[in-house]
Structure 1
Amino acid sequence: MRDVDQATTLPEAVLDPILEREPAAPRITWYDDATGARIELSGLTLANWAAKTANLIRDEFGLTPGARVAVLLPAHWQTAAVLLGCWWAGTEVVLRPDPDAELVFAAADRLAETEDAPEVAALSLDPMGAPVRDLPIGVTDYATAVRVHGDHFLPGGAGAALDSMPVREVLTAARKSAARQGFSETDRVLSSGSWDTAEELIDRYLAVLAAGASLVQVADPDPALRDRRVDTERVTQIL
């Protein structure tokens, strides 16, 4: 693993080793059992979405390292990319409405919580990334805006990473969590858990990336599908 002393951002620390080793391998496989949707992102595709998001944050919203960004999103493949993009841009993520946030990424059904935010990007969370329809004036549609930005990003520094925790502390916590849970780079980790707190996000998402493992994340899980999914996705660990 790349040492945090040689990396300024979380994506550099957790994604670079994956991209060097197996960029085309599945990194996040997302299911919605309520709709039957399945989306799979390789490490390279995840990195591209994250880079686009970071460029959006810097070039369209004008945020600089150290700015605070509220992420009001569920555990989802788009959320995975948004979080990495925030960290690549050197911004601090908070997982709740925050009056000091300069930008909010919000699910369409949570826009009421963003009324006082200076900038808002709304996500439909459509499996294929469709835009949000009939947005209020002044709210940016993430799916539309992010696509025009570049697939590469040059980091320019970092502030705190997650709820006032610096990059070093978050990465250390993720690596400790990965070790505690027994994750390795050969694992496929099945989870239907939320990412609503810093602890959940570290244990259920960042720990997987920090170990070099891949995640199978399920929304609205159907218990009747679990055993078959474990087999078809070659799951080795279940959260």
Structure 2
Amino acid sequence: MNATDRTPAGLLRSALVADAGRPLVTFYDDATGERVELSVATFANWVAKTANLLQGELSVAPGDRVALLLPAHWQTAVWLLACSSVGAVADVSGDAAAADVVVSGPDTLEEARACRGERVALALRPLGGRFPQVPEGFMDYAAEVPGQGDQFAPFAPVDPEEPALIVAGAEFSAAEVVERALADAPDLDLTGPGSRLLSGLPYDTWAGLSAGLYAPLAAGGSVVLCRNLDKLPADALAQRIDAERVTASRH
């Protein structure tokens, strides 16, 4: 990271400059057998497209609240950084009724219907696949995001001191997210470039978000993000740690 990086989106921009081709997020779903690996460049492209969707199609402006009713997943990580890019507040597992926009996985659609603003649904299928049938009242993210621009420029500057994240009832500014992620890195055994953290923690706490995205990004490392890790036998986990060259783990 650079000394001037005071938002998660800024950390991603610095990662692009430093080494765009290195892995950033490797995702496993041990209920489906899915594995997806995203380089810094590929992840940043998804973030740019999603930020353009937020700003251009959904009219999200700095300070607007986006409820993310999503599990620990590579697409959730994309949405967290897209919200940071726009300056929106990412409200993880937040109250849909209090949100300007809601983003829902397939298991929380009824809860998401409480949002009176725009509603986006993610099928969370392998390879970012679409819903076989779009849920009524929702935009299908997988159908809408491919046509968005590959470069993103915010309409208004993002203030690092403004609220950026709400998780487990705690609110953080963008600068606080970066500061806390940097402070967490040593305790997570993230020692710099090449560090690779396997996380099986859910995204509904700061600890899960930090291990599963923010701290590896801030440290110049990468994350192996595992969903449904409890379905994986212990010997298979050891094999994964070895195969993925994991240097630390939290699960």
| Coarse TM-score class (shorter-chain normalised) | over 0.9
SS for the counterpart of 1:124 is coil
Separation (CA, whole Å) in 2 of partners of 1:193 and 1:7 = 26
Aligned residue-pair number: 236
Structure 1 equivalent of residue 79 of structure 2: 82
1:62 aligns with 2:62: no
Separation (CA, whole Å) in 1 of partners of 2:92 and 2:33 = 27
* Aligned-residue identity in percent: 39
Separation (CA, whole Å) in 1 of partners of 2:175 and 2:163 = 9
1:150 aligns with 2:152: no
Structure 1 equivalent of residue 112 of structure 2: 114
Moved more, 193-202 or 209-218: 193-202
Moved more, 105-114 or 154-163: 154-163
Moved more, 64-73 or 176-185: 176-185
Q: Residue by residue, what CA displacement relative to the aligned partner does 1:41-93 show, whole Å, maximum 9, x if unpaired?
A: 00000000001010000000011111010111111111111111111111001
Query: Could you tell me which of 220, 227, 237 is aligned with 2:238?
Result: 227
1:200 aligns with 2:208: yes
Query: Could you tell me which of 13, 18, 33 is aligned with 2:15?
Result: 18
* Residue 188 (structure 1) shift: 1.2
Separation (CA, whole Å) in 2 of partners of 1:83 and 1:93 = 6
Separation (CA, whole Å) in 2 of partners of 1:232 and 1:116 = 43
* Residue 134 (structure 1) shift: 2.6
Q: Name stretches of at least 5 consecutive residues in structure 1 with no aligned partner.
A: none
SS for the counterpart of 1:108 is coil
Structure 2 equivalent of residue 172 of structure 1: 179
Q: Name stretches of at least 5 consecutive residues in structure 2 with no aligned partner.
A: none
Q: Output the amino acid matched with 1:227.
A: A
* Residue 126 (structure 1) shift: 0.7
Structure 1 equivalent of residue 247 of structure 2: 236
Q: Output the amino acid matched with 1:11.
A: A
Q: Output the amino acid matched with 1:69.
A: V
Kept in 2, the 8 Å contact 1:2–1:17? The answer is: yes
Q: Residue by residue, what CA displacement relative to the aligned partner does 1:9-51 show, whole Å, maximum 9, x if unpaired?
A: 4211x11221112111111111122222111000000000001
Separation (CA, whole Å) in 1 of partners of 2:223 and 2:207 = 17
Separation (CA, whole Å) in 2 of partners of 1:140 and 1:23 = 30
Backbone CA RMSD of aligned residues = 1.5
Q: Residue by residue, what CA displacement relative to the aligned partner does 1:198-237 show, whole Å, maximum 9, x if unpaired?
A: 3421243201111011111112220231111111111111
